[in-house]
Amino acid sequence: MIKPFSLLTTFTLVVSIGFGQGFSDQSRMATRLKALESANPSLTRLQSLAKTVGGKDVWVLEIGAGDRVNHSGIAVIGGVEGSHLMGQELAIGFAEKLLANAQNDSIKNILNTTAFYVFPNMSPDASEQYFAQPKYERSANANPTDDDRDGKTNEDPFEDLNNDGLISWVMVEDPTGKWKTHPADSRIMVMASLEKGERGKYILISEGTDNDKDGKFNEDGDGGIHFNKSLTFDPPYFVPGAGEHPVSELENRALLDYLYERFNVFAVISFGPSNNLSDPWKFDKLKNAGRVPMGILENDARQNKIASDLYKKYVTLKDAPVGPTSKGDLSQWAYFHYGRQSFSTPGWWPPKFEIPKDTAQAKKYKTNEDKNTDVDFLRWAEKENLDVFTAWQKFNHPDYPGKNAEVGGFKPFVKTNPPFKMVDKLVEEHTKFIVSLAAKRPDIDLINVKTEPLENGVSRITLTIQNKGLFPALTEIGKNNIFNKLVKISLTSAKDQSIVSGNKITLLPNLEAGETKEMSWLVKGKGKLTIEAGAPQAGVKKIDINL
């Protein structure tokens, strides 16, 4: 096992390539990936699994030494949401830092025993909108869809009404509106609460016009299907972005086909909106009362807690917001249908804002009584001198003639992606977490091997099979999943040997963390025999015995 101290110090030694130029578009992403393969030909294999409808590559970079498919594996997946550029940087940044330190003894040992499958971006069509004009947050691919079910596609997109290159928001003063300004900061819009006797004053819409004159704004723009809405566990139906059926898209099928052929994967780490690393999933008996489990099983919840504690040891971000799962998302598919350990995190969130204790500074802030996150985020950003908000500007909206309309609000991408200067430190911390998780993978070993000669040329062979890792060979949810391999112990004898007692092949339903199993055989004959034990996701150990 690798000592935690070595993991803490490893990644400060070599600076990885790829940072300092902002978030990467698909062209730069491909350049970074190809550079990694070129510089590390014996440790990597780069492959385009498919091209999206928009003509973008879906890349996977395999990392590891030797026979990777026979090493316990971890899938690292970015671009779960197209607007989450941070997820892409965490995924490819992990690969860069890992390979930059490949000659260090601790990392060399990891690469000799663990395979990593890095998918930098599963939503390349959507993420390119960050680099396009106008810039707006997009999660859907380039597959044209009729989101408003009117028989037309993409007929009501966004429009950049103030010509600033960004799509933000429009508020229109109207007595039928359901929105009002926040009492702590009039720039922030919130829904009026009827329960509190509040009245709305504004209509709030996304920036654009009602092109198809159906009373809705920008409801049928460019694209398509959301990667993180169209997987197979508890999928949504008849919802924009979900597709006609689960796994309808090339990128979804490419990922699933690839992973279902990788029996050695023991854990999936995804960078997206779900967060069970800062706040691990909890076992809930009611969620599992039916025939189909809808919540994490009890033993797997313990493993999630172990991973969460490890994450919080290396990743210094505090006060994580709730990151719930959603229908048809990747994190739930990886657990419920793929049957693996599934860990997900957005990788960054804005820190909490505290009003300064200095009386003079504190006077400029009104009390944020309901702890509105937009108010706190805007205050934090201003303290950090970050440009995240477009001031509200009056203009004449063609669909609201004669009414007081203003365009502005938060700029796209700023709430879910940090300033790029923060990325390298976050990549380093998440890389330490992933490497530490790999060091605690399920790890099968054969120990206490003994041979005893008995009468009539018979020998007794005894040994102990042990899981040295901190995770079980199989998840509890995966025990009934035919795509998970059981722990197998096999004895291969020579032609002139015969097994008098014991099974030639034994299958174990599982081997928990630290669990041992005693095995014994009686074998008649002389010469060499081989005992092999393990599972693809837990490693395989082989020993030769001379009788």
Would you say 227 and 80 are in contact if contact means Cβ atoms under 8 Å apart? yes
Indicate the DSSP class of residue 134. Answer: S
209-239 per-position pLDDT tens digit: 988 777 777 766 677 999 999 999 999 998 8
**Length of the chain, please?**
547
Q: What is the pLDDT of residue 8?
A: 42
The full DSSP string for 468-528 is -SSS-SS-SGGGG-TTSPPEEEEEE--TT-EEEES-SEEEES---TT-EEEEEEEEES-SE
The pLDDT tens digits for 323-335 are 999 999 999 999 9
- Confidence band of 356 (pLDDT split at 50, 70, 90): confident
**Cβ atoms of 379 and 394 closer than 8 Å:** no
Adjacent-strand bridge partners of 452 = 460
**Is residue 78 a contact partner of residue 92, using CB atoms and an 8 Å limit?**
yes
Residues 6+ apart with CB under 8 A from 351: 317, 318, 319, 380
> Which neighbouring-strand residues pair with 489?
506, 533
pLDDT of 10 strictly over 50: no
Is the pLDDT higher at 168 or at 16? 168
| Percentage with pLDDT > 90 across the chain | 83
Give just the sign of the alpha carbon dihedral 309, 312, 315, 321.
positive
| pLDDT given for residue 12 in this prediction | 43
How confident is the model over 531-539, as a mean pLDDT? 95
In this predicted structure, the answer to whether residue 19 has a pLDDT above a threshold of 50 is: no
Q: Is it true that the peptide bond before 134 is cis, omega within 30 degrees of 0?
A: yes
The pLDDT score that the predictor gives to residue 213 is 76
User: What gap in Å lies between CA 263 and CA 54, rounded to an integer?
Assistant: 31
Q: List, in sequence order, the alpha helices (H) in 343-469.
A: 359-362, 373-383, 423-439
Residue 155: per-residue pLDDT: 63
Q: Which residue has the tokens 């041992």?
A: 516
Whether 122 and 77 have beta carbons less than 8 Å apart is answered as yes
pLDDT at residue 355, rounded to an integer: 86
Q: Are 538 and 444 in contact (CB under 8 A)?
A: yes
Q: What are phi and psi of 537, to 5 degrees?
A: -80, -5
Which tokens in the block code for residue 348? 């960054």
**What are the chain's domains?**
45-129+225-348+417-439 (3.40.630.10), 146-222+361-410 (no CATH), 444-546 (2.60.40.10)
Cα(178)–Cα(230) distance, integer angstroms: 32
CA distance 455 to 48: 61
Mean pLDDT score across all residues of the chain: 92
pLDDT by residue (tens digit) across 157-193? 889 999 999 999 999 999 999 999 999 999 999 999 9
Query: What pLDDT, in 10s, does the model give residues 405-425?
Result: 999 999 999 999 999 999 999
CB 82 within 8 A of CB 58: no
- Of 320, 327, 302, the C-alpha closest to 471 is 302
* Distance from C-alpha of 456 to C-alpha of 203, rounded to nearest angstrom: 93
Closest CA to 341 of 419, 276, 258, 285: 276
Between 14 and 210, the more confident residue is 210
pLDDT at 210: 81
From the number of C-beta atoms within 10 Å of its C-beta (0-12, 13-18, 19+), residue 439 rates as buried
Residue 483: pLDDT over 90: no
- Greater confidence (354 vs 264) lies with 264
Query: Distance between terminal CA atoms of the chain?
Result: 31
Q: In what order do the strands lie in the sheet with 458-467?
A: 444-453, 458-467, 516-524, 498-501
CB atoms within 10 A of CB 257: 12
Mean pLDDT across the stretch 103-107? 95
Higher pLDDT, 357 or 162: 162
Whole-number Å distance between alpha carbons of 356 and 375: 15
Task: Quick: pLDDT tens for 274-328.
Answer: 999 999 999 999 999 989 999 999 999 999 999 999 999 999 999 999 899 999 9
Q: What backbone phi and psi angles, to 5 degrees, belong to 506?
A: -125, 130
